[in-house]
């Protein structure tokens, strides 16, 4: 690896790449580019690591883990362990969460420094296809990578006050746990907070306008999650539209178009994330946009020569690892390595509520649409037959969707801890494996991963621990 140094002529410095935004997409691009010997300026107005590290993936998963510990303590007698659950010390939970984030932030900052990436701190604005203005300082690059990320959306007329009507950013920083909460939105972020809060003892009601929770997942998965949430005492109303919210003496009253208002201490608005692209000069430089998103081709090039875009501002899955993958792709593209474009459907998706959900590829309904109903088969393997899942006392299943006489085109899993199963699922999908090929591979016993092996044995026509 050579030390990347920007080209200088007189006063002006030209980097190989200027990256606007130091979140998952932007910093991954910067790291890979530097590794390839390119000079990089990384413009960031907040903290390196962006949403995922500071306000997203990492802190939410710390909360969910604290919730898992609380649940395990409450349920310990089921396993013959005597323990009493005395309650949640939210200040201590926050300290644990902040400690995790802090350590990762320190590591990331050190990594960026060690790769000799120039971090330019301040508010960036694209002023030319090859230049970003950072609070009056012009930073030039042969290429510019837009990676300005996303923000929590609200609904028209729904004002976020940060106390009673909050977004996920505020929810991560609560100094006091609510007794009750309404979560507006039954997508990934909504169900994750609902799950963690329920584990902390909060009375939660989710309101979702679409007919089911986690509506982007396979329908069977949504049904299983709804059953599990009912059992856990998480209330939800689906197919119901939000009408408004007003303050009460000690909280909020959330009204719905269907009537039956809900009173709670607070309302968490989790209705999705919009692209952070307003007033950043993108349109002025001529970049084609659609409702605030930056449009790119499959090589992540915008319509303006030399300008690329990665992460949440590019339409598609808003996931940190998609940002990492896209960032690496763009760095390699600029370095001339001609990387293979990323298959969006091959990006694994995980929802970390309890029970967890993992998926990759097409849902059964999508597969039927793409290939025709007659050309698609599916198989569901119940975790009841899986030893490790019985030990953990979790319910759920592995569902496989395949093209008849063809490869597996979708894997969908629900159950405690199944996030870790998504790795094999994505290899199977991305390698276009046939069930018969996967069925040949031996899976370790007793693991939850074995359920995947069993599902493939059954789909290949040689079921082992499967009834009927």
Ligand X SMILES: Cc1cc2nc3c(=O)[nH]c(=O)nc-3n(C[C@H](O)[C@H](O)[C@H](O)COP(=O)(O)OP(=O)(O)OC[C@H]3O[C@@H](n4cnc5c(N)ncnc54)[C@H](O)[C@@H]3O)c2cc1C
379 near ligand X (CB under 6 A) = no
Subset of residues 188 to 217 that bind ligand X, contact rule: CB under 6 A: 189
Closest alpha carbon to 415 in 375, 383, 437: 383
57 near ligand X (CB under 6 A) = yes
For residue 166, list its beta bridge partners: 268
Which of 52/362 has CB closer to ligand X?
Answer: 52
Site string for ligand X, 83-122 (x = CB under 6 A): ----------------------------------------
185 near ligand X (CB under 6 A) = no
Subset of residues 6 to 35 that bind ligand X, contact rule: CB under 6 A: 21-26
Of the candidates 31, 33, 38, 52, which one interacts with ligand X according to CB under 6 A?
A: 52
Q: At closest approach, how far in Å is the CB of 139 from ligand X?
A: 11
Which of 51/205 has CB closer to ligand X?
Answer: 51
Q: CA-CA distance, 244 to 401, in Å (whole number)?
A: 40
123 near ligand X (CB under 6 A) = yes
How many Å separate Cα 81 from the centre of its chain?
34
Q: At closest approach, how far in Å is the CB of 156 from ligand X?
A: 21
Which of 281/435 has CB closer to ligand X?
Answer: 281
C-beta separation of 227 from 258 below 8 A? no
Which of 59/463 has CB closer to ligand X?
Answer: 59
Closest alpha carbon to 465 in 393, 457, 63, 253: 457
Part of the chain binding ligand X (CB under 6 A), chosen from 48-56, 65-73, 339-347, 436-444: 48-56
Neighbours of 95 (CB within 10 A): 11
Closest alpha carbon to 381 in 443, 330, 290, 308: 443
Part of the chain binding ligand X (CB under 6 A), chosen from 51-59, 104-112, 354-362, 452-460: 51-59
245 near ligand X (CB under 6 A) = no
312 near ligand X (CB under 6 A) = yes
348 near ligand X (CB under 6 A) = no
Residue among 54, 143, 443, 445 flagged as catalytic: 445
60 near ligand X (CB under 6 A) = yes
Q: How many CA atoms lie within 13 Å of 124's alpha carbon, on the beta-carbon side?
A: 31
Q: At closest approach, how far in Å is the CB of 149 from ligand X?
A: 2
426 near ligand X (CB under 6 A) = no
Part of the chain binding ligand X (CB under 6 A), chosen from 104-112, 144-152, 362-370, 397-405: 144-152
218 near ligand X (CB under 6 A) = no
Subset of residues 251 to 280 that bind ligand X, contact rule: CB under 6 A: 276, 280
Of the candidates 67, 124, 385, 435, which one interacts with ligand X according to CB under 6 A?
A: 124
Q: CA-CA distance, 318 to 250, in Å (whole number)?
A: 35
Q: How many residues bind ligand X (CB under 6 A)?
A: 35
359 near ligand X (CB under 6 A) = no
Of the candidates 13, 14, 45, 111, which one interacts with ligand X according to CB under 6 A?
A: 45
Which of 183/240 has CB closer to ligand X?
Answer: 183
Q: At closest approach, how far in Å is the CB of 58 from ligand X?
A: 8
383 near ligand X (CB under 6 A) = no
Which of 22/385 has CB closer to ligand X?
Answer: 22
Is-catalytic flag, 170?
no
Q: CA dihedral defined by 382, 384, 385, 387, rounded to 10 degrees?
A: 130
- Tokens representing 210 are 């679409």
Question: Binding residues for ligand X, per CB under 6 A?
Answer: 21-26, 43-46, 50-52, 55-57, 60, 123-124, 147-150, 168, 189, 276, 280, 311-312, 318-321, 323, 352
Residues designated catalytic: 445
């Amino acid at each position: 690896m050579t030390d990347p140094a920007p080209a200088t002529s007189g006063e002006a410095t030209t980097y190989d790449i200027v990256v606007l935004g130091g979140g998952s997409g932007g910093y991954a691009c910067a790291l890979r580019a530097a590794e390839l010997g390119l000079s990089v300026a990384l413009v960031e107005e907040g903290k390196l690591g962006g949403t995922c590290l500071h306000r997203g993936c990492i802190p939410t998963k710390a909360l969910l883990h604290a919730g898992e510990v609380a649940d395990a303590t409450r349920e310990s007698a089921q396993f013959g362990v005597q323990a009493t659950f005395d309650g949640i010390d939210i200040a201590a939970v926050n300290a644990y969460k902040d400690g995790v984030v802090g350590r990762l932030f320190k590591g990331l900052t050190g990594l960026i420094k060690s790769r000799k990436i120039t971090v330019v701190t301040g508010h960036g604005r694209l002023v030319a296809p090859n230049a970003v203005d950072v609070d009056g300082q012009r930073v030039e690059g042969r290429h510019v990578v837009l990676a300005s990320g996303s923000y929590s959306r609200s609904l028209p007329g729904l004002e976020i006050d940060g106390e009673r009507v909050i977004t996920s950013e505020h929810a991560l920083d609560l100094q006091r746990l609510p007794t009750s909460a309404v979560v507006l939105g039954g997508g990934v972020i909504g169900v994750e907070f609902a799950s963690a809060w329920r584990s902390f003892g909060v009375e939660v009601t989710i309101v979702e306008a679409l007919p089911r929770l986690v509506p982007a997942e396979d329908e069977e998965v949504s049904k299983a999650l709804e059953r599990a949430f009912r059992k856990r005492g998480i209330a939800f109303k689906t197919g119901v539209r939000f009408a408004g919210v007003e303050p009460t003496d000690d909280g909020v009253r959330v009204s719905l178009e269907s009537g039956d208002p809900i009173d709670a201490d607070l309302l968490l608005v989790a209705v999705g994330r919009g692209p952070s692209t307003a007033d950043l000069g993108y349109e002025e430089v001529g970049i084609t946009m659609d409702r605030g998103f930056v449009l790119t081709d499959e090589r992540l090039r915008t319509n303006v020569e030399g300008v690329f875009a990665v992460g949440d501002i590019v339409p598609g899955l808003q996931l940190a690892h998609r940002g990492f993958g896209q960032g690496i792709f763009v760095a390699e593209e600029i370095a001339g390595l001609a990387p293979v474009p990323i298959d969006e459907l091959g990006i694994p998706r995980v929802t970390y509520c309890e029970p967890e959900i993992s998926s990759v590829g097409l849902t059964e309904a999508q597969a039927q649409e793409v290939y025709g109903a007659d050309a698609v088969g599916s198989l569901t393997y119940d975790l009841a037959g899986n030893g490790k899942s019985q030990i953990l006392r979790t319910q759920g299943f592995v569902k496989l969707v395949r093209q008849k006489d063809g490869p597996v085109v979708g894997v969908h899993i629900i159950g405690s801890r199944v996030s870790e199963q998504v790795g094999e699922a994505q290899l199977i999908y991305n390698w276009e494996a046939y069930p018969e090929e996967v069925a040949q591979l031996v899976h370790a016993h007793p693991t939850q991963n074995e359920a995947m092996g069993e599902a493939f044995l059954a789909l290949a026509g040689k079921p082992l621990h499967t009834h009927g």
